[in-house]
Amino acid sequence: MTGARSLLESLVVPIADRLAWVLPPTTDENLVQWATFHGWDGAVDRQVVARQAALNLVLRALICYRLDADELPTSIPTHFILAHSNSLLQNLGISPQPFSYLDRFAVRVGVALHKSQIAALTRALQCERRDVIGDAYTSWVPQDARRTLGQFWTPWPIAQLMTWWAIQSSDDCVLDPAFGSGVFLLTAIDRLTYLGVSAETVSRQVAGVELSPLVFLMGLTNILLRYVPHTQLRLQWGDFLMPKQEPGAVLRESPVVYVTGTRQMSLPGMKISGPTAFSEQFDAIVCNPPYTRHHHLPEAYKSTWATVMNQEYGVRLSRFSSLFAYFFVQANRMLASTGRMAFVTPTTVFEASYSSQVKAFIRRQLRLRAIISFDKALSVFEGVDTAACITLIEGPETPAKDRVIHIQIREWPGVEQVLQAVEQGGTITAGWGSSCALDPSTLEPHRKWTVIGYENNRFDNEHFVPLSSLARVMRGIATGANDFFVLSDDEVTKWELERTNLRPVLTKTREVPGYAFTQADFDRLGHAGKKRWLLYLMGPVIPGTSEARYIQYGEARGLHKRSLVRTRSLWYMMEQRDPAPIYFTYLSRRRSRFIYNQTDVLALNVFLCIYPRPTISQDETTLKALLAVLNSLVAKDSLRYVGRTYGGDTIKVEPREMDRLPVLNPLELASGDRERLAELFDQLCCTDSEEAEKIVRQAINEAIAAIIGVP
C-alpha cells in the first residue's frame, strides 16, 4: 500500500466507522433510493454506504483545498465543506452541482477534518501516477455493488492508447461520456498538451459526463490534483442517455418514453428524439461505458433508444442489448463526420447473434479501423466478468480504407507498438501478439468479427464436419422456478410425491466435476442432500393427491404467475426431454466440458443436450471417440469461433451456435483410430488434476493430427 493510500484510509475509515453507527435503518426512504440507484437488490451493506459517505466528504474537502486553500479554517466542519465545495463547483461552471444522500447523511454526524491532513493527502496524491482514489473505492465497494452503474476503471496504458489514437490535432475537442475516475480526461489533457495546447485553454477542449454523484467527485478530484483549470470545466453531472432528466430519475421511473426532458407517450407518426448532453459535435470520443445487462435497464432506455435507432438509422436494436449499445449510438450522434471514436467494447458485441444490428449500424454509419483483443490469460480489466476489446472507429466522411485491422495482444507491449501496428495495417506476428488485415466486405453482421482473421479455414477442412451433421443439440430444461420444481430427497419425502412423477436431474455444472456422470455420482448428490429430483408432470394433477397439494403450495407462492410458466397450457407441466448421451456445460469458467451421461439423468438449462445419431450413440466406442474429439484442445479452441467469450476464460455457446462446431467425424475413422480416441477419453475421465487433463487433451490433439495427416 502506497503512502497516499495509507493517508486516504487514515482519513476515510475512522469517519466511516462513526457514520456506520448512526446509519438509519434499511427501510429509510432515502437509503432505499440510494440502494435502488446502485441496483442493489439484496440487503444494504451499511459499511459500504458509510465508506461511500466518508469518501464523499474527503473528496469535497480535497476540492476545497485544491481550489481555495487560503479560505479553509484549521478545523473544517462538515457543513462548511459541503457549502464551500458547492460554491467552488458553481464557479467552475458545473451545474447542477452533484449532490446525494451521502451529503445529507454526513451532516447528521458533524465530523470535522483538519486542514493539515487534507494538505498532506493532497501532496501525497499528486505524487502518485496511479489512480489511488479509484483503487480505494473498488476495494471498499464490492464488485456486485458497482456492476449496475458500470463502476470499473480503465487502466492508464489502455486509456493512453485510446486517447492518443483518437486525438489527432491540437484543435480537437474531446468527450468522455462516462468519465468515472477521470483517466480518459487526464490522458486527453496530456495528449492535447503534447500537441501544443496551452494550459490556459485546454479545459475548453475536454468534456465529460458522469451519472454517479460520488464517482463524479472522484473524477473531478483526480483532475484537480493534476491540473487547475484557468477556465470553466465542461463536466456534466447527469445521464448521458437522458441528459434533460434529473440524474438518477430514469432508474426509478415507470416504462415510458422520454423526449427532451418531458414524459410523453409514443404516438403513431410522432418523431422521438433523444437529446444530447452537449449541443456540438466532437472530434474525438473516448469511453469505457457501463455494460449494464438488458434485464437491469429501465424501460425508458429501451423504448427511447430503440425508437431513435429505428427512426434515425433504420436499425431495430435488440431488446437483449446491454447499455453499451445505447451509449455507442448516442456517442455516434455526437461524433464529427471526420472524427475518431475509441470505445472499450464487450466482446459479445462482435460475437453474439443478438448484436448483429449493432454491427450493421457500424457498417452503415461509421468506418471501422481496428479491433484490439486481449488474450484470456492477460487480465487487463480487473474484476470484470465480461471479456472486453477496444474498438477504433472513424466518422463516415473519413477516407475509406481497404482493410480493418484485428490485433490480438498476449503480453502488453506498450502504447507505441500497438499504435504502430494499427497504423501499419498489415500482418504481424510478434512475441507480444499478432495482427491481421481483414477485408471490410467480409465483416457481415451475422459473422463473429473477432475471429474471422484467425479461423484458419477450419470450417472448410475436409476432415471436419459441423456437429449438426452428427447430432441434434437442444438446451436443457427451463423450469421457470427451479427452487419449486427441483427437490431434494427430504423434500420428496415431506410432500410424499410419487416417484413416477419425478425424474433425476442435474441442476448445476459443478455437480459434474469430471467428464462422465455415473449412477454413483447421482447417489453422491443424494447423500449430500442436493436437489436432484425434477417434478415431471405431463398432465393435470388429480385432486386430493400429494402432487395436487404441492401444486396448490406453488400457487399460494404466486409461482403460476411467473412469465415463463404462464405460457404453458398447465403452468406446472414440464418441458419434454429425453436424457441426452452428452451434456455440455453451457456457460462455465475455464473448464468447459462435454460430459458422458451414463445414467438416465436429465439436465436443466445450464447444460446443452447433445443427442448423437443412433449409429454413434448405440456404439460405445464411437460415442467415446466423439467425446474425445469434443473435449480436445482443438474443439475448445473452435468453441471460441462459434460461441462467445466472457471474462475469466468463460465460453457461452447457444444450441444453433453449437451446430456449427467443426468436429472430426468418428463414423469416417478407421476402427483402430476410433478405439485409440475412445481409450484416450477413458483416460481423461480418470484424471485428477488440471495438469493431468492437459496432458491427455494434448494426446487427443496429437491423435487427431495423426489421423488427418497434420505434422
Residues in the chain: 711
Cα 120 to Cα 131: distance, rounded to the nearest angstrom: 17
- Written as nine digits, the cell of 478 is 427451463
Question: pLDDT (tens digit, 9 = 90+) per residue, 417-445?
Answer: 999 999 988 888 888 988 888 888 888 88
Cα 434 to Cα 454: distance, rounded to the nearest angstrom: 10
Angle at 486 between CA 483 and CA 492, to 5 degrees: 110
Least confident of 312-321, 412-421, 570-579, 608-617: 312-321
Question: pLDDT (tens digit, 9 = 90+) per residue, 255-268?
Answer: 333 333 333 333 33
Give residue 638's pLDDT band: very low, low, confident or very high (50, 70, 90). confident
**More confident site: 158 or 643:** 158
**Ranges assigned E (strand) in 483-606:** 486-487, 502-506, 516-517, 533-535, 582-585, 587-589, 594-597, 602-603
Q: Report the first-to-last Cα separation within the chain, whole angstroms.
A: 51
- Written as nine digits, the cell of 384 is 470484470
Pairing of strands 388-394, 367-374: antiparallel
Q: What is the pLDDT of residue 211?
A: 84
Q: Among residues 705, 665, 699, 662, which one has the least CA distance to residue 682?
A: 699
Q: What is the DSSP string of 167-223?
A: --STT--EEETT-TTSHHHHHHHHHHHHTT--TTTGGGGEEEEES-HHHHHHHHHHH
Question: pLDDT (tens digit, 9 = 90+) per residue, 375-410?
Answer: 776 666 665 556 788 999 999 999 988 899 999 898
Least confident of 240-244, 382-386, 601-605, 650-654: 382-386
Residue at 83: amino acid letter: A
Q: What is the mean pLDDT of the chain?
A: 84
As a whole number of angstroms, the longest Cα–Cα distance in the chain is 88
Query: Domains in the chain, start-ordered, CATH in brackets?
Result: 3-144 (no CATH), 150-252+270-454 (3.40.50.150), 478-577 (no CATH)
Angle at 343 between CA 225 and CA 237, to 5 degrees: 45
DSSP lists the bridge partners of residue 76 as 113
pTM above 0.75, yes or no: no
**More confident site: 686 or 310:** 686
Q: What is the pLDDT of residue 98?
A: 82
Question: pLDDT (tens digit, 9 = 90+) per residue, 211-222?
Answer: 888 899 999 999
| pLDDT at residue 101 tops 90 | no
358 within 8 A of 347, measured Cβ to Cβ: no
Angle at 162 between CA 156 and CA 163, to 5 degrees: 85
Q: What is the pLDDT of residue 259?
A: 36
Taking residue 450's Cβ as centre, other Cβ atoms within 10 Å add up to 23
Question: pLDDT (tens digit, 9 = 90+) per residue, 593-627?
Answer: 999 999 999 999 999 999 999 999 999 999 999 99
